[in-house]
Chains A and B, each alone.
Chain A
Amino acid sequence: MERLNSKLFVENCYIMKENERLRKKAELLNQENQQLLFQLKQKLSKTKNSNNGSNNDNKSSSASGQS
């Protein structure tokens, strides 16, 4: 039992480390995501403006709600 426990403990530690790594990765990706979103929105508003700007308010509010 003791051995099993220490095995579990080591495993838990390993997962924790792994989770930490994933969290960092997610953080980076999220930043990238935000950036891309921003670029995309800029592009979108450009095309919208050239066409006919209408639904912009709605979109920006839901986007900020997410961050």
Chain B
Amino acid sequence: MMMVHSMSRDMMNRESPDKGLDSGKYVRYTPEQVEALERVYTECPKPSSLRRQQLIRECPILSNIEPKQIKVWFQNRRCREKQRKEAARLQTVNRKLNAMNKLLMEENDRLQKQVSNLVYENGHMKHQLHTASGTTTDNSCESVVVSGQQHQQQNPNPQHQQRDANNPAGLLSIAEEALAEFLSKATGTAVDWVQMIGMKPGPDSIGIVAISRNCSGIAARACGLVSLEPMKVAEILKDRPSWLRDCRSVDTLSVIPAGNGGTIELIYTQMYAPTTLAAARDFWTLRYSTCLEDGSYVVCERSLTSATGGPTGPPSSNFVRAEMKPSGFLIRPCDGGGSILHIVDHVDLDAWSVPEVMRPLYESSKILAQKMTVAALRHVRQIAQETSGEVQYGGGRQPAVLRTFSQRLCRGFNDAVNGFVDDGWSPMGSDGAEDVTVMINLSPGKFGGSQYGNSFLPSFGSGVLCAKASMLLQNVPPAVLVRFLREHRSEWADYGVDAYAAASLRASPFAVPCARAGGFPSNQVILPLAQTVEHEESLEVVRLEGHAYSPEDMGLARDMYLLQLCSGVDENVVGGCAQLVFAPIDESFADDAPLLPSGFRIIPLEQKSTPNGASANRTLDLASALEGSTRQAGEADPNGCNFRSVLTIAFQFTFDNHSRDSVASMARQYVRSIVGSIQRVALAIAPRPGSNISPISVPTSPEALTLVRWISRSYSLHTGADLFGSDSQTSGDTLLHQLWNHSDAILCCSLKTNASPVFTFANQTGLDMLETTLVALQDIMLDKTLDEPGRKALCSEFPKIMQQGYAHLPAGVCASSMGRMVSYEQATVWKVLEDDESNHCLAFMFVNWSFV
């Protein structure tokens, strides 16, 4: 198709001056005509034939052109556009690859120098050892110690003892020392770096990410290229709350010019606790920003402790003081514009002060890398792309506005989870059970301060109430659970509670509902608003379709809207937490609309010592990374048998003075019921231990029973035969077992017109055939499984399936999820009907299959 079009375009534009219009084949357009056509194209790149006829009628300069030619013009125009886009894409990829290449070459250079230095030094030392004579060793030993780290030489005053850290000169010496240490981590090997698993090389890679091994505290570093000027990058990164979601506040308590053009700041930073199970952290640090001789800009930061000296930070009762070891960013200007950014984060989060089960969270350099280091790099790149106009944004909103929405959702959720006293939160008496904590805030205007603006206060009644709970989950992949919660809201949410939350945005009073999860199934429609560049986070509007309980309530049966932020649904990301946070929002969607977020956060707790210690410390295997097996590396952990994660739930509601107690008990009940729902879901989606060994793993949820009933009923309805032979049982459990243990592979796949079909269910043999698990099954697309003839056969039989209910496909070949070829003798496809005869899904039965 494309070939034909582009050829005819070429002929049209260049080679047809001599051919008249009469030939009917080639047309030469005048600039005016082209302009007129271009105008239409910008409005509608694919006009209907009616629209094209109208165009000829309305536009006199086009009246001598045949409709067919106009059609061809548009086809060609679209084709050209496509080609141009493709070329632009390739160019972008090329730029990235070149930048990456440069970075890698630099690293290579550095490493080579390092190696040769070491070889030389070691040779020298060996020589000294063998021919040692006491007097000459002194000098050479000195040089050996210092020459390994050039940066150490910049350090003017390494003696701790002589320093009076309370005066500016003393602070400068701390700053210089921090700078030297930071640089030796950023570009050297002062920390034992290993490349992070799961960060694949290539054009789409964010950069080079490494994490620490066996160092005191935890450290991560990233290096990448951004298309912004160094000073701009520094400005963005210094504003930590704008990109670090866990950062509650940064207070600069004093600014001291450092004499050499640099600046020293004393900074107090508060960080949110990720769950209700541990206290929040704070940092008291010195930050030093300065230019280096080679033109690069550095911002480095380290904690002021009794060891370093310096003024002591503000006291804090609700926080545990954590230590930041020399960290920061080095921004080097890049030849073709833009900068090369090196980020190092090195902290000691005082893991010993948290409950043992939570400790991995505070000891994982992977989590640090994801939450801080990579987040910083991502944020800068996101802004760079927005500035360059590469980002498409939804809903006619500026990306900055959408980002503010995401930040506010996150911050509001963090505020709810942490419930700080200085925000106005106080605990409310429990009802005996301790599983759910309820806190109230009678001065909601106080929290968030200016970021909510004035619109916050009047919107939230006399107070805000928050019910929260945390629980440990066993063997539940966070990404899968969050995906489930997002896609199947009706499985856990209560329509009445949603309606209550939505109503609090309006003036009209709304009776406090009694919470019962899944009481009224409500339809949700998810409308995407924005996605970050790497797709790791998406902002969306959820429309909940209105229902009326009773005729009197008709007035209230209106659609409700939630602004929702979903992150971490990509299973392949290592060390990331998954989160679903949403807040009711009124139809106006004002930029400063008040938001009272609720939601879920699931954080994987990495095991401290994996059974085969090698996997934790495994460096990136390049060959396997090329083949995309980073995915397996990412999955290896969650599929391990003792994989744990912590789930935190927080729900916020407004209340009036008179409704306080009823709202509190509703919220408490609601969170309890959600915990119940999640436990059920968790049980269903936890992967089977081992592969096919245990027969216990038959899914026994009511949904599975119903589905199996529908599958077998529909089969006999359409084909007149019985799926399990003559002696089939009709009772649920037996039916389920018969289907589960059926010798042929039986698979169900979704039946949606707008999306490509994915598998939703398979029996044991089906899972074996696709070499997958029930959880992973739901990511497998039918298109990928069937081969070309198989797809064709299905397409041609599809009308028959829809009409008669079933069809047989001839013998063929399909592929397992691992890419192994599977041959089958026959495939039967039938349409699975629900009880009310509506279409539910398609079922496939692959008969006599075997691996080729």
Contact = CB atoms under 8 A, between A and B. Distances in A.
Interface in A1-39: 1-2, 4-5, 8-9, 11-13, 15-20, 22-23, 25-27, 29-30, 32-33, 36-37, 39
Contacts of A66: 145, 148-149, 152, 190
B125 interface: yes
Contacts of B641: none
B727 interface: no
Given A36-B125, A36-B126, A22 B111 contact: yes
A43 B132 CA distance: 8
A51 B108 contact: no
B128 interface: yes
B188 to A, nearest CB: 10
Contact of B203 (A5, A23, A37): A5
A1 B90 CA distance: 7
B716 interface: no
A23 B119 CA distance: 13
A9 B98 CA distance: 9
The bracket for how many chain A residues form the interface is 35 or more
A62 B104 CA distance: 31
Contact of B622 (A8, A13, A36, A51): A13
Interface string B169-211: 0000000000000000000011011010000011100000000
Contact of A12 (B97, B111, B119, B132): B97
A12 B129 contact: no
Contacts of A20: 195, 619-620, 622
Contacts of A17: 622
A16 B90 contact: no
Nearest to B619: A20
Interface residues of B, number: 50
A29 B600 CA distance: 48
Contacts of A62: 145-146, 152, 158
Contacts of A43: 129, 132, 137
A26 B91 CA distance: 36
Secondary structure class of chain A's binding surface, majority of residues: helix
A33 B101 CA distance: 31
A30 B622 contact: no
A9 B204 CA distance: 11
Given A13-B622, A33-B118, A44-B137, A19 B145 contact: no
B126 A12 contact: no
B811 interface: no
Contact of B122 (A1, A4, A33, A48): A33
Contacts of B193: 23
Contacts of A19: 104, 107-108, 111
B118 A8 contact: no
B253 to A, nearest CB: 29
Given A11-B101, A15-B101, A33 B121 contact: yes
A57 B626 CA distance: 50
A26 B111 contact: yes
A20 B115 CA distance: 12
Contact of A40 (B101, B129, B149): B129
A25 to B, nearest CB: 5
Contacts of A37: 125, 141, 144-145
Contact of A36 (B129, B142, B146, B152): B129
A34 to B, nearest CB: 10
A29 to B, nearest CB: 4
Contacts of B195: 20
A65 B144 contact: no
A15 B104 contact: yes
23 contacts: A5-B93, A12-B100, A12-B101, A12-B201, A12-B202, A13-B626, A15-B101, A15-B105, A15-B108, A16-B104, A17-B622, A19-B108, A33-B118, A33-B121, A33-B122, A33-B148, A36-B126, A36-B129, A37-B141, A40-B144, A43-B129, A43-B137, A51-B134
Given A8-B97, A29-B115, A33-B121, 16 more contacts: A2-B90, A4-B94, A9-B202, A13-B622, A15-B105, A16-B620, A20-B195, A26-B114, A29-B119, A36-B122, A36-B125, A37-B125, A44-B137, A59-B141, A59-B145, A61-B158
